[in-house]
Amino acid sequence: MSRRPAVITGVGSYVPERVLTNADLEQIVDTTDEWIVSHTGIRERRIAADDEATSDLGLAASRRALEDAGLEPGDIGLILCATVTPDHFFPVTSNIIQDKLGADRAAAFDLLSGCCGFVYGLWTARQFIATGELEHVLVLSAEKLTSITDWTDRATCVLFGDGAGAAVVSAGEGDPGATGLLAFVMESYGEHGRLLRVPAGGSRRPVDEEALAARDNCLRMEGPELFKLAVRGIPEVAAKTIARAGLTQRDIDWVIMHQANLRIIEAAAKRLNVPEERLVINVDKYGNTSAASMAIALDEVYREGRLEPGHNILLVGFGAGFSLGGAVVRWGP
């Protein structure tokens, strides 16, 4: 079967207006700005308004990506929304965004794959483009993580923020091995799923009075163990992805990791031998926005004019599952 290249033709992002600084958190829990910065690299994060849901964040990012691609909502054949904080179990968030966008020709479904969600979305979109099934797919990642944050848990409440990013993936021309979405590596280690979880809220344990009292409808994380897995796993997946793209580490112009923790990013970059000037970092401004983090970072480096045609971008993330994912993208004009 012949394959067509899948290329990113538009990107966009959105973060809420409200800024929550480390000084603000000092008034909420027993912590300090010095401790947060030294352990995470985070200085502030964005917090969605009470009346802002995940779909509202995703809608704003999607509109900007469509505008950047020069497309109308009716041009989109499929909407993929990666999120762990949907507006509801159903209707799913992608359906809500499809309606608000007016994308009346688009199918829609959500991807619940944690912090690797954006890479999973691009991977899925490539299949529909490569086979000729669709011409344009909207991939978005949106999170309102503050809706599942336990604000009494100083180990986790300092980490998370809200935001969304989006990309339009379209059919391109030429050799699919030389342009666009070049290569992916996706891995799952379900035995480590306990390290990052929301204990209550599904069919295994519905939310009841006991769960609410224990705040088990909020995010729980085993930080030290997760740190070790990420620092070891990110370089391994990155190396596999680069090799699958037929490239070497020296061919990579930009590395965009999941923006979870500056210490993880720096430790993984050291193992990858990636110089600081090739790293894209914004965790200091937004904290951990889960599935949205790599999408927001990609849009930022693009809007700043740092991406040039032919640049090779490595996207690599880790998160709930435990999942790892990598992608190599050759940027187009």
Pairing outcome for strands 44-47 and 18-21: antiparallel
Catalytic residues: 115, 258, 288
User: What is the DSSP code (8-state) at residue 221?
Assistant: E
Residues 30-54, buried b or exposed e (16+ Cβ, 10 A)? Answer: ebebeebeebbbbbbbbbbeeebbb
| Listed residue (125, 161, 158) closest to 144, CA to CA | 161
Kindly tell me the burial class for residue 19, based on how many C-beta atoms sit within 10 Å of its own C-beta (0-12, 13-18, 19 or more). middle
| End-to-end Cα distance, the chain | 27
Query: Mutual orientation of helices 262-272 and 33-40 as an angle, nearest 10°?
Result: 20
**Cβ–Cβ < 8 Å for 274, 281:** no
CA distance 176 to 3: 7
CA dihedral 57, 59, 63, 65 (to 10 degrees): 70
CA distances from 76 to 42, 81, 93, 256, 318 (A): 36, 13, 16, 26, 29
**Cβ–Cβ < 8 Å for 132, 87:** no
